[in-house]
Chains A and B, each alone.
Chain A
Amino acid sequence: MDVLIALWQGILIALEPINLGLAVIGVVVGLFVGAMPGLGSVNGVAILLPFTFVIQSFTGGATSPMIFLASIYYGAMYGGAISSITLGIPGASTAVATTFDGRPLALAGKAHVALVVAALASFAGATVSNLLFTGFAPLLADVALSFGNPEIFALMLLAFATFVGLGGDDIPKTLFSICFGLVMATVGFDIISGEPRLVFFDLTGFTHGIRFLVLAIGVYGIGEMMWTINTSRTGTNMSKVEVTFASVVEAIKQFKQAWRGTAIGSALGFFVGILPAAGATPGSLMAYGISKMTSRRSAEFGKGALDGVAAPEAANNSASTGAMLPMMTLGIPGSPTTAVLLAGMVIWGLQPGPLLFTDQPEFVWPLIGSFYISNFVAVAVNLLFIPVFLWMLRMPFTILAPLIFVLSLVGTYAAYMDMFDVWLMVIFGVGAFLLRILDYPLAPAVLAIVLGPIAEPKLRQSLLLSDGDFSIFFTRPIAGPITVIAILLILLPLLKLIRDKLRKTA
């Protein structure tokens, strides 16, 4: 009951005109930063961090600046889906899985449906996450603490398992794709031994490792565009839609077809989000994989399934709120964006950590209240802007293709200000196009480069703990069951194959 009263008072503070105004501005800025390929919430929050000192000098206290940053974070999470759907380039790393089905929907003339489903699923994910956060923050902090190295590795193994089925029926090609991604993930300095690995041609650009966004924009921006040009020489086959507010309302009604993906994404995203090592990108990819695996219409995934848009979008919003939990209750950021938020809190004179909730309730509850408010503002702003975003689709392909090319280049550069990344992105794009002609699935490679850098150190830290004994993944109470489930899922396609063979011979 105390929680509800505290929350209510928090919401009232978040609704004060100055705070509400900051939330609206933050959401709009975040929406556009998120929609720009390459720029994600981390860039938006980092760029505007200094601006919060101006806000603080007007309002005093840390509440209003934090509300501003949190609403940028929210807006960016919604925005990431926009370019994933309309242009096929992931707006941020968290929205990569949204392109898998969002793009096919757009090509089929249903971009408005995809955008509406993405917005509503995001809203649902964030709401579920907010409720869990409000009710169980201290308890969930203990859950996060109980996940050590073997547990995180088991979870990453589970994420891989959900994706084995994603590459289609050609298992050798899927395995090749995963292995390619894993090798790319080992490039750079190894944190366990401190030695450089796979620094090709001694280029310093390889020392920081291959950034996930570089591969993702290459594959989905440049590669996809070349594929489109190759398959439709006469121009785009994208159907043009007249979008009115009526058709948006019509699309809202279709959202109920995506309830499964939304539910899976909301729950899974939050859980993965509260673990400091994981974050929103693995969360959204896992939600997509599990939605596909458990769906009765799994064949539609990748061709324009509404669940395929809803699952990753619900998950990335849910995970983003979830990632606030270890930051606020443990002082440990779960993602690059929360790391910047944490730095902000330190600068404003707060001490995030186990005592934040008891020592600083006047900061915590208005912030949590603002999560609810920002979420409402974000879904409203997003739905209002949908007709604007759809104008992009009315452009003839002769204009759209160069635009995608330019956005891919600028987006890759903007993320880390590194020309090396831009060249690498172009090479990945051309490579992805060639592999696609040869019918290699690329999603598993993208997944591997996200999960590889998380899974590998956790595997090796676990084996250091156990002196090289793999039983550590089976004997620990939390890691054990997760590992077993993951292995069963990996073996599932094999079992199916054997069953089919037996049936044919029978």
Chain B
Amino acid sequence: MKSIKSLLVGAVGIALAATSLSGIANAGSHGWEPTKPVDFIIMAGKGGGADKMARLMQAIVEEENLSNRPLVPTNKSGGSGAEALVAAKNATDPDHTIMVTLNSFFTTPLRNPGIKVDIQTFAPVGRMAEDTFLLWVHKDSGITSIGQFLTKVKAEGNKWVMGGTGKNSEDNIITDHLNKQYGLNIKYIPYKGGGAVAKDLAGKQINSSVNNPSEALGFYEAGTVVPLVAFTDKRLPMFPNVPTLGEVFVGGKQAPWAYYMQRAVVGAPGMSEKAQAYFTDLFTKVYNSKKWQAYKSKKSLMGEFMAGDELKAYWTRQVDNHRAILKASGAIK
């Protein structure tokens, strides 16, 4: 037994040493430094876009010795992020609790007032990017343009199935917009994550999706799925032949509409100003790293770094925007 124990202690010791040793050299010029591992909450499940991004951030922090204490990721995906929001709100040590957020950061408190979360109490550490959305169909559908898509879907009525991540989520909002703007009757089926949606589109279990480029990239490169339109203001550099919704004429009219997903890091409510300054500095370095910039361009992410009051103002605009969208779709009163 003794030998087992010592071996176990050894194994755990090696693991801990490996994770914490890497950053000791970088001691403080900020006035505040983490004194223990930082709780890094991910507002989504393992394997999704947010998760991959969070683990990339963690990897960059480790690799470039940016922090003297490791970031420890924990996934809290329950209830479209409600679990994560509540956990951050109730964090016992807000200075050591940060969170990677999606747009559920705006929509979930609107839809679930019961969780009593006010997002303006979170610390605006830094917005790392804005993710983009495209409309995808399977290549075997024969559809190659948004015009054909609208005609076909109109004819199919409610037999046309769109898969998406979660109820009243980003994907649901985009589907609702298509239905309303173009008089369609697409049936929306919620999934647990973008990966499962991508897989079911490739397997022709659903007819279309509005995956992020990062989620659909593998099947796009293999030629299995085809992008029809981008829900952005300008065409994406990676998809120069894919028009934006604003370029589409229906009945001689244009209806520009763009929708983005924030990829931001926030601090738990009650985080001290010094800690917030430390993390903003940390994530500025992550943002400027080669790896992050490479990832950003490869996955068609947009948006510049944003922090502090500028980020808070952005949140206010986003909350107003989402309140209007959710009201229009009847998700909230």
Residues of A within 8 A of B (CB): 28-29, 32-33, 36, 46-51, 53-54, 57, 144-149, 188-189, 191-194, 196, 204, 207-209, 276-277, 326, 330-333, 336, 338-340, 342-344, 346-347, 351-356, 388-389, 391-392, 395, 416-417, 457, 461, 464-465, 467
Q: Is B317 an interface residue (CB 8 A)?
A: no
List chain B residues, Cβ under 8 A from A465.
161, 187, 189
The answer to the question of B280 belonging to the interface, with a C-beta cut-off of 8 Å to chain A, is no
Determine the chain B residues whose CB is within 8 A of the CB of A149 once the complex forms.
Answer: 189, 200, 205
A32 near B7: Cβ-Cβ < 8 Å: yes
**Residue B277 is within 8 A (CB to CB) of chain A in the complex:** no
- A-B contact list, 14 entries, CB within 8 Å: A32-B8, A32-B11, A49-B59, A51-B18, A148-B205, A188-B83, A194-B169, A207-B82, A208-B77, A330-B218, A338-B47, A342-B52, A344-B55, A355-B218
Q: Given that A54-B18, A208-B76, A339-B46 are contacting pairs, would A355 and B221 also be in contact in the complex, using a CB cutoff of 8 Å?
A: yes
Question: Do B80 and A346 have beta carbons less than 8 Å apart?
Answer: no
Residues of B within 8 A of A144 (CB): 199, 203
A304 to B167 alpha-carbon distance, docked (Å): 46
A276 to B112, CA, bound (A): 30
Stretch of B190-198, B240-248, B257-265 that contacts chain A: B190-198
- CB neighbours of A331 from chain B (8 A): 195, 198, 218-219
Query: What is the minimal beta-carbon distance from A359 to any residue of chain B, in angstroms?
Result: 8
Interface pair B199/A194, CB less than 8 Å apart: no
Given A208-B76, A332-B195, A395 and B1 contact (CB-CB distance below 8 Å): yes
Chain A residues lying within 8 Å of B18, measured Cβ to Cβ, are 48, 50-51, 54
Query: Which of A50, A196, A340, A461 sits near B189, CB closer than 8 Å?
Result: A461
Is residue B168 within 8 Å, beta carbon to beta carbon, of the partner chain? Answer: yes
| B46 engages A336 (CB within 8 Å) | yes
Question: What band does the interface of chain B fall in when counting residues whose beta carbon is under 8 Å from A?
Answer: 35 or more
Chain B residues with CB under 8 Å of A36's CB are 8
Contacts of B58 in A (CB 8 A): 50
* Contact B4–A342 (Cβ < 8 Å): no
| A392 close to B199 (CB less than 8 A) | no
Top 7 A-B pairs ranked by shortest CB distance? A353-B218, A189-B79, A145-B203, A339-B47, A148-B205, A354-B222, A339-B46
Q: Are A457 and B192 in contact (CB under 8 A)?
A: yes
Q: Are A354 and B79 CB-contacts (below 8 A) given A332-B195, A339-B46, A342-B47?
A: no
**B213 CB to nearest chain A CB (Å):** 12
How far is B78's CA from A290's CA once the two chains are assembled, in angstroms?
Answer: 33
**For the complex, what is the distance from the CA of A196 to the CA of B247, rounded to whole Å?**
40
Question: CB within 8 A of A53: which of B63, B76, B79?
Answer: B63
Residue B3, interface by CB 8 Å: yes
Interface members, chain B 55-70 (any A CB < 8 Å):
55-56, 58-59, 62-63, 70
B200–chain A nearest beta-carbon distance, Å: 6
Instruction: Say what secondary structure dominates the interface of chain B.
Output: helix
Grouping DSSP codes into helix (H, G, I), strand (E, B) and loop, the A interface class, with mixed when no group exceeds half, is helix
Chain A: CB-nearest residue to B10: A32
Contact assessment for B52 and A207 in the assembled complex, using a CB-CB cutoff below 8 Å: no
B217 CB-CB contact with A under 8 Å: yes
Query: Which residues of the other chain, A, contact B199 by a CB distance below 8 angstroms?
Result: 144-145, 276, 326, 330, 332
Does B86 make an interface contact (CB < 8 A)? Answer: yes
Nearest residue in B to A340 (C-beta to C-beta)? B46
Contacting pair A53 B52 (CB below 8 A): no
Of the candidates A50, A391, A395, the one whose C-beta lies within 8 Å of that of B59 is A50
Q: Hey, which bits of chain B sit against chain A, CB under 8 A?
A: 1, 3-4, 7-8, 11, 14-15, 18-19, 22, 45-47, 51-52, 55-56, 58-59, 62-63, 70, 73-74, 76-80, 82-83, 86-87, 90, 111-112, 114, 158, 161, 166-169, 187, 189-192, 195-196, 198-200, 202-205, 217-219, 221-222, 224
Is B167 a contact partner of A391 (Cβ separation < 8 A)?
A: no
Q: Which residues of B contact A355 (CB under 8 A)?
A: 218, 221-222
Q: Of A353, A391, A417, A465, which is in contact with the most chain B CB atoms at under 10 Å from its CB?
A: A353
- Cβ contact within 8 Å between B80 and A148: no
Contacts of B196 in A (CB 8 A): 276-277, 332
Report whether B51 and A339 are in contact in the complex, using a CB–CB cutoff of 8 Å.
yes
Q: How far is the CA of A506 from the CA of B14 in the complex (A)?
A: 71
Q: State whether A208 touches B83 (Cβ < 8 A).
A: yes
What residues of A have a CB within 8 angstroms of the CB of B22 in the complex? 50, 54
Instruction: Assess whether B90 is in contact with A193, with CB atoms less than 8 Å apart.
Output: no
CA distance A137 to B70 in the complex (A): 37
Contact A333 B46 (CB under 8 A): yes
Q: Is the CB of A353 within 8 A of B219?
A: yes
Question: CA of A350 to CA of B13 in the docked complex: distance in angstroms?
Answer: 30
| Cβ A209 vs Cβ B195 within 8 A | no
Partner of A191, one of B63, B161, B167: B167
Given A189-B80, A330-B202, A392-B1, A204 and B192 contact (CB-CB distance below 8 Å): no
> Which residues on the A side are within 8 Å of B87 (C-beta)?
204
Chain B residues near A51 (CB-CB < 8 A): 15, 18-19
Asked whether A388 lies within 8 Å of B3 as measured between CB atoms, the reply is yes
Bound: A457/B163 CA distance, A: 13
- Within the complex, the shortest CB–CB distance from B278 to chain A, in Å, comes to 20
B181 to chain A, nearest CB (A): 23
- Complex contacts, A353 vs chain B, CB 8 Å: 217-219, 221-222
Contact present for B15 and A47 (CB under 8 Å) = yes
**A389 x B4 contact (CB < 8 A):** yes
The complex places the Cα of A131 from the Cα of B224 at a distance, in Å, of 27
Residue of B whose beta carbon sits closest to that of A353: B218
Does A191 lie within 8 Å of B11, measured CB to CB? no
With contact pairs A326-B199, A353-B222, A392-B4 given, residues A192 and B46 touching in the complex (Cβ less than 8 Å) = no
